[in-house]
Structure 1
Amino acid sequence: MDTEATIRRTIALIDQCKRLKPGYKSSCEKLVSQAAGFTLSLVRSASEMGVKKFLEDPPPFEPYQ
């Protein structure tokens, strides 16, 4: 899944919630909370994968001159 697209969808969902009538905000806020949690876990796992790949296959070292 595309991390950037997921973050954009979460932000769009938050913006939609801001425009809802008060009676609907509670369920929308719960949905946004779940989406934000999912987005954070996605970003966290993506960054862990990046660190893991970096450790397994580090870029060539070029000394500073």
Structure 2
Amino acid sequence: MEVKTIANLATTIATTATNQAVGVAVLKKAMDVQASSAAAMLEALPPATGVNNPPHLGQNIDITA
């Protein structure tokens, strides 16, 4: 092999490793932003209200229907 070929290969490997590291960092940041957005959306939801059914509803199950 020529020295030029070895140098090109080393440069390519280094560039690929750097590109992968940057890609992983961007992916992690995007996941953090999505998690933050989801948490904000959940915080914005109004609190759940209790069910105002009469006391006789929900006490029996009709198993012969």
Which TM-score bucket, shorter chain as reference? 0.5 to 0.7
Task: Read off the aligned partner of 2:42 and give its amino acid letter.
Answer: L
Aligned residue in 2 for 1:51: 38
Asked if 1:37 is matched to 2:27, the reply is no
Task: Read off the aligned partner of 1:49 and give its amino acid letter.
Answer: S
Shift of 1:22: 3.9
Task: Read off the aligned partner of 1:43 and give its amino acid letter.
Answer: A
Task: Read off the aligned partner of 2:18 and give its amino acid letter.
Answer: L
Matched pairs, number: 39
Task: Read off the aligned partner of 1:42 and give its amino acid letter.
Answer: K
Q: Which runs of 4+ in 1 moved over 2 A?
A: none
TM-score of the aligned structures, taking structure 2 as reference length: 0.53
Query: Is there any run of 5+ residues in structure 1 with no aligned partner, and where?
Result: 1-20, 60-65
TM-score of the aligned structures, taking structure 1 as reference length: 0.53
Q: Which protein, 1 or 2, shows the higher relative CO under an 8 Å CA cutoff with sep ≥ 6?
A: 1
Percent identity, aligned pairs only?
10
Larger % of helix: which?
1
